Amino acid sequence: MILDRGICRVYRKTNKATAGSKPIWDETLIHTSYYGELSFETAPSHPTEFREEINTAARVRILQNRSIANHDRVALEPFGAESAPDATLKFEVTRAYHGRDEDSGEEITDLTLEVVKP
């Protein structure tokens, strides 16, 4: 798969507060890669008491980084976004698959993403 849609930056959410203080969240850049978009489908939501609800907004493929995990943050900057400064999209990782591309054998990470609520 060709990673030609834009640049993906992955951030880890870290607590910068001292012990016992209210959390002060900060994001630390852990990975930068080109990305390609993957197909996905949505399913109707049927909330139940003990089920975690996930609303998939995007799926992307990047070069492999096995340290990426659930709840990391992702900023996708599509190519051509220089003319539109608010075009960067922000997401949270709900699933990370680390494997190989079937066509090229390249090591990849597929990310399932959910929109971050401001």
Q: Structure tokens of 40?
A: 């996905």
Interval 102-115: pLDDT, tens: 888 999 999 999 98
In the prediction, which pLDDT does 57 show? 86
Residues 6 or more apart in contact with residue 95 via CB below 8 angstroms: 70, 111, 112
Q: What pLDDT is recorded for position 98?
A: 96
Length of the chain, please? 118
Rounded to two decimals, the pTM is 0.82
Sorted by where each begins, the domain ranges of the chain are 6-41+53-115
What kind of architecture, by CATH, is found in domain 6-41+53-115?
Beta Barrel (2.40)
Please tell me the distance from the alpha carbon of residue 100 to that of residue 48, in angstroms, as a whole number: 35
pLDDT of residue 55: 76
